Amino acid sequence: MTQKLTLKQRVAGSLAAMTVALSPLAAGAETLSDAMVSAYKTSGLLTQQRALLRAEDENVAVAVSALRPVISYSAQTNLGYSDPDLRRTSPTGLPSETWSGTLALSAQLLLFDFGATDKRIEIARENVMMAREALVGVEQNVLLNAVTAYLNVLSANESVALQANSVRLITQELRAARDRFEVGEITQTDVSLAEARLAAARAAEASAQGNLMVAREAYKAATGHYPGRLSPPPAPPSIPSTVEAAKAQARGRHPDILASQRAVSISDMSVELSKLSTMPTLTANVTAQTGVSTTTTYAPAPVGTTTSNRNSAGVSGGLTLSGPIYSGGRLSALYRQALAQSEASRAALLVTVQGIEQTVGNAWAQLSIASASLQATDRQIRASRVALRGAREEATLGARTTLDVLNAEQELLDALASQIQARSDQYAAIYNLLAAMGLLTAEHLRLGIATYDPSAYYNAVQDAPLRVVSPQGEKLEHILEALGKR
């Protein structure tokens, strides 16, 4: 009894057979891994998302800074002049000039706010984690675009070769038809049919070459360079044996689902923060101030000009307890808004999970279709070759017409073209399935390159360092320099 093979076994068998058949072409050629590595290193989207992640990291530092003292200074100077002759008053009845300057240094520190600042820090950190998931999502899209571009170039190259071979075969058929027409075996109609089919084949070849040019441009956009000689794709990473297992992995690994879960946590913490906004805050403040004033009086001789100076200094400080009493309903509205946003984020999570599960199911279905199509085209090619061989032999005996031979050649050409498309679709479906499961990353694929560490910058700035001044700031400078050299 013949045992029914699973989808995973059928895919593995067909891909292994194709890899063995095409392996002589792989020596010295660019591989699929090379294309993905190039895309990972040159992607502007990844560079943009990494910068956005670092900006999100800084929000943690901003939130932490609220727990630190705020120290500020102010300086002020005043200049005055009085003259009795100009009907301005003067204490001495004489013209005088007054200058004063003050310098103040103040410090303020939050002592207690019922945990509102700590909650803001938690929200900022959760936003960082959500931004990291978004970075993974962008990485998946970049690598998937590279895979798609690679497969499209391979398919376009094969199509060009196939159409060129078709032109050569039909040219031979046309030459044979003309020879047979010269000896009276066939009519001019047969020759015209061969000429029309040759024109169509040349048009198809031109179209295939145009598609190759388009595929090459897409490859350059995805990887940063035009393709050279490409090797056949290797055996793809393993996939689950069932669609349900694939969906289960997607629920636990896909970055969109993980980001939506983070969004739910953020919305819940925002509800708690809106409650804390009604609580008072206690702050301490200290101000040190020093000042100097100079008064110059202009008197006639023999008294002459006299100058007097006065200095002053002082320190003051205290505690401030403040909080809202009535805000026109604003705080209540913000609380209700936070509740609504929390409910919306939970609904968004459900929608995201459903969408990812559908994407997994679609990729699985496409893989099943491509695998079945590939097996069917294999049988179609074998049968078409037998039919073409028979049609040619029968045509030499006069039992078949030139049109019969041309139709048989077209059947074989269509089968070979379908095989190229099915093979590409099968590979694309596998990598689309990996992306839908959240596994299409440089780390999971083991591309053998140093990947971006999103925690390095975060660890350097999470405690709100002073750049250059503190050791943490010096560490931050080194990281920024390294990022600029990437």
Which residue from 141, 127, 118, 160 is spatially nearest to 55, judged by alpha carbons?
A: 127
419: pLDDT confidence band, cut at 50, 70 and 90? confident
Strand-strand pairing, 96-112 and 281-298 = antiparallel
Q: pTM for the whole thing?
A: 0.81
pLDDT, averaged across the chain: 85
pLDDT of residue 477: 56
17: pLDDT confidence band, cut at 50, 70 and 90? very low
pLDDT of residue 284: 93
H-run or E-run covering 176: helix 116-182
Beta bridge partners of 71: 107
Residue with the bigger pLDDT between 477 and 16: it is 477
Contact between 458 and 128 under an 8 Å Cβ cutoff? The reply is yes
Answer whether residue 402 shows pLDDT above 80. no
Please provide the DSSP assignment of 20-68 as one string. HHHGGG-TTSBPHHHHHHHHHHH-HHHHHHHHHHHHHHHHHHHHHHTTS
**Mean pLDDT over residues 14-25, rounded?**
47
Contact between 122 and 60 under an 8 Å Cβ cutoff? The reply is no
Q: What is the pLDDT of residues 49-67, one digit of tens each?
A: 999 999 999 999 999 999 9
Sign for the CA dihedral angle at 381, 382, 383, 386 comes to: positive
Q: What is the pLDDT of residues 336-393, one digit of tens each?
A: 999 999 999 999 999 999 999 999 999 999 999 988 888 888 888 888 888 888 888 8
Q: What is the pLDDT of residues 279-333, one digit of tens each?
A: 999 999 999 999 888 877 776 766 567 777 788 888 888 999 999 998 899 999 9
Label residue 248 exposed, middle or buried (CB < 10 Å: 0-12, 13-18, 19+): middle
Contact between 360 and 437 under an 8 Å Cβ cutoff? The reply is yes
Residue with the bigger pLDDT between 186 and 458: it is 458
Instruction: Write the CB contacts of 74 (distance below 8 Å, at least 6 apart in sequence).
Output: 103, 104, 106
pLDDT of residue 85: 62
H-run or E-run covering 184: none
- Edge to edge, the sheet with strand 96-112 lists 70-82, 96-112, 281-298, 305-322
Cα–Cα dist 156/165, whole Å: 14
Q: What is the pLDDT of residues 112-153, one digit of tens each?
A: 999 999 999 999 999 999 999 999 999 999 999 999 999 999
Residue with the bigger pLDDT between 50 and 170: it is 50
Cα–Cα dist 28/231, whole Å: 8
